[in-house]
Amino acid sequence: MSDRLSALRRPRVAIVLGVLLIAAVLLIAGVLLVRDALAAKDALEAAQDQARRAVRVLGEGDVAGASAALDEGRAAIDAARTRVDGPIWALTRRVPLLGRTLELLVRVVDVGDAAITIAGEAVAQGEPFLGDDGSIEVSITDGRVDLTPMRLANRVINELSTGELVAAREALAGSPDTWVPELARAGRRGALGLADLALDTLTTAGHLTSVLPAILGSGGQRTWVVAVQTSAELRATGGLVGYLTELHADDGRLTLRPPIVYDAVDQTDEKTPPAEDALASTLSGGWQDPVDAPPEFEARYGLRGAAGLMSNVNVDPHLPMTGDVLHRLYEKRTGNRIDGVILLDPVAMELLVQATGHGVGIPAAGRTDPQVPETIPADEVAEWATWHVYEVMGMGRSGDRDPFLKAFGISMFEQVLAGGWDGVQMSRHVARAAGRRSLQIYSADPQEQQQLETLGIAGAMQTRAPRSDLLSLVGNNAVGGKMDVHVAHRLAAAIRLGQVRHAEAGPWATREVAARVELENPLPAAGMDTYIIGNCLVDRFGNQCFDGPKGVNRTWFTLWTPRATGFTAGRDADGDPLALGAGVIHGHHATDHFLETQPESSNHFEVDLSGPVELVRDGPDLIYRLTVWRQAKAIPDHLDLTITGPDGWEVAEVTLEGGGDGQGMGVGGSDNQPVRTVGAGGDTVRIRGAATQDVHVEVRYRASLASRLWAWINSPL
């Protein structure tokens, strides 16, 4: 009997031992897989950090540093590759569900490998046109830009093959990401971000090295109007255009015509303008002789004379439209054919001067007033161009002010075009000016214009990423005085996302916005020049200018949102209802209000907005994107944003980019905290700080476990 029982037990013991052995093997394999996955994750993160470092130091002209960073990135990728190429991975990649995670990690490594490889090739092949010390050898000598480095760079970029990286990215983007751990999803996001960084950098470099030589006359002579906007009197693109000159470019050789300085409102100077300034008078007139403008432009701005007055032509912030009208207006008034418009403001001028390493010398012809120094320090250029010039040579002194502005502009441009400065430093300062929208370019050539918009220097009101929300506060000066470098602008907005809905194109939700726009006006009612604190009640015939109350600020504020978003209510500072203006143009909705603020006080108004907003689905997560588009100003914008997600969703991650350093002119101009995330918990994010550039926000929301399970049930394995 005992022998029979023993015989029966032996197979059972064998089965148990076999199961235990298999469990042990699986446990050991699982431990090894987790170990390898964590090691691969650390290696991939190191590779991504080195790739970003390479981009940063290459932008600073440090070729050796970029090469070293990419070498470290390559070593990290190789380490990750050894972790995911073992026999255990090869076997378990075939296991249902578990294999999905392993396959995803392998594809993450593939993307990192391809991105590091193409970045290394770009740096290696770029060495012939980059200096041994890392400086970018793009220089100006005697007014001629050497275009050879840009042509060589463009050739190298066009010869780089991005096919392997694009294929690896598409494979990773198409991989299922449901029922995979957060570690793998985070690796996927990082790898896709790295691939996009590499591809976007190459695309940007390709456009830049293609369009800049063309603008500078590589294919034949080009003529551009350089229009300097004064930040002291805001217009939507940056300021009143009061100084213009023509820039002629022929195969890199740059020449400037004598500048035109015109004054649209100073009528107290009874001196007869010299004959050479007759063109200035022609530019400042023309209310009843407008150019052909798009119907939507004329419908919205016809009463402002925007299609006929150079002083009002740029009351719309979208330069692709405004630049076209300005282009036509200049050609009609002058009879000169031009290829496009380059907009500069005093902030850009100061950055360019700082890059030369010297202040701006003012010749005797521009120093008719003893308070004007022989040399304006580089860090005072913007203040002199927007503030001191009117304190020293304000009301009734255009006969002194105009020669100063001409001499100042000529000296500044000559100093920049003379060359001799450090190429890396100049490139950085030009990039800062473009980032602040203090430098903008419009080209009448459609292909060039598209490249400029892709580069983000065309002044286009657009979001950086697709399926993104937009919010922008734009001011137009409505008093004629030079107040707008003294005040402060503040925008608070509470954004709440409603129930998530699904459409074929992707998820969306209703978005409610409660916005508060405030202006702080520190200016007095007396004691400053009328040109600064005066209130110009000018009509279409130029009458009554500066007869209004002194020190009162009146700003035409516009809140810009996507086309489908409109205002639902408005309130003044006392909470009483406001009748707000509204319009739709170039695909955006505009909500308008003229805010009047008394001297040495603050005032505000509130607006409720509503409309649908597109969201992005990323696996089980939901992403809300927002671009806060910023008008070019010398003062910062003070932002206070709260973003609340849909019911049942919680904040998983916040990405915040842009914003600049937050420093500028005005009562709220200095000692500011840049835009930053100050709180994120539950379903709400709060973002505060001062901005001098566009702000890009991405909030990743994660649903509850029950919601995720329901989403999985409704999606294929």
As a three-state string, the secondary structure of 323-334 is: HHHHHHHHHHHH
pLDDT grade, residue 269 (50/70/90)? very low
Share of the chain above pLDDT 70, in %: 82
pLDDT at 122: 81
pLDDT digits (tens, 9 = 90+) for 378-407: 999 999 999 999 999 988 888 899 999 999
Average pLDDT for 47-74? 74
469-713: which CATH topology? Answer: Immunoglobulin-like (2.60.40)
pLDDT at 306: 93
If DSSP codes are grouped into helix, strand and coil, which group holds residue 360? strand
Q: In sequence order, what are the residues at sequence separation of 6 or more whose Cβ sits closer than 8 angstroms to the Cβ of residue 240?
A: 229, 230, 233, 234, 264, 311, 477
pLDDT at 127: 65
pLDDT grade, residue 336 (50/70/90)? very high
**Which regions of the chain carry the CATH code 3.40.630?**
224-455
**Which regions of the chain carry the CATH code 2.60.40?**
469-713
Q: Does domain 224-455 have CATH number 3.40.630?
A: yes
Between 243 and 177, residue with greater pLDDT? 243
pLDDT digits (tens, 9 = 90+) for 661-676: 999 999 999 999 999 9
CB 675 within 8 A of CB 657: no
Report the mean per-residue pLDDT for the chain.
Answer: 85
pLDDT at 519: 98
Average pLDDT for 347-359? 96
Share of the chain above pLDDT 90, in %: 55
Model-wide pTM > 0.85: yes
Estimate the crossing angle of helix 98-126 against helix 182-215, to 10 degrees: 30
Average pLDDT for 696-717? 73
pLDDT at 639: 98
pLDDT at 286: 63
Range of lowest pLDDT (177-186, 338-347, 365-374) = 177-186
pLDDT at 632: 98
Distance CA 484, CA 664 (A): 12
CB 493 within 8 A of CB 355: no
- For the domain spanning 22-215, the CATH number is 1.20.58
Average pLDDT for 637-647? 97
pLDDT at 124: 78
Cα four-point dihedral sign 558, 561, 564, 565: negative
Residue 241 scores a pLDDT above 80: yes
CB 398 within 8 A of CB 269: yes
pLDDT grade, residue 275 (50/70/90)? very low
8-12, 200-204, 452-456: range with highest mean pLDDT: 452-456
pLDDT at 119: 82
Residue 274 scores a pLDDT above 80: no
**What pairs with residue 690 in β-bridges?**
638, 674
Range of lowest pLDDT (253-267, 274-288, 533-547) = 274-288
Distance CA 147, CA 22 (A): 68
Token pair 């008078």 in the structure block, residue: 281
pLDDT at 53: 80
Between 716 and 72, residue with greater pLDDT? 72
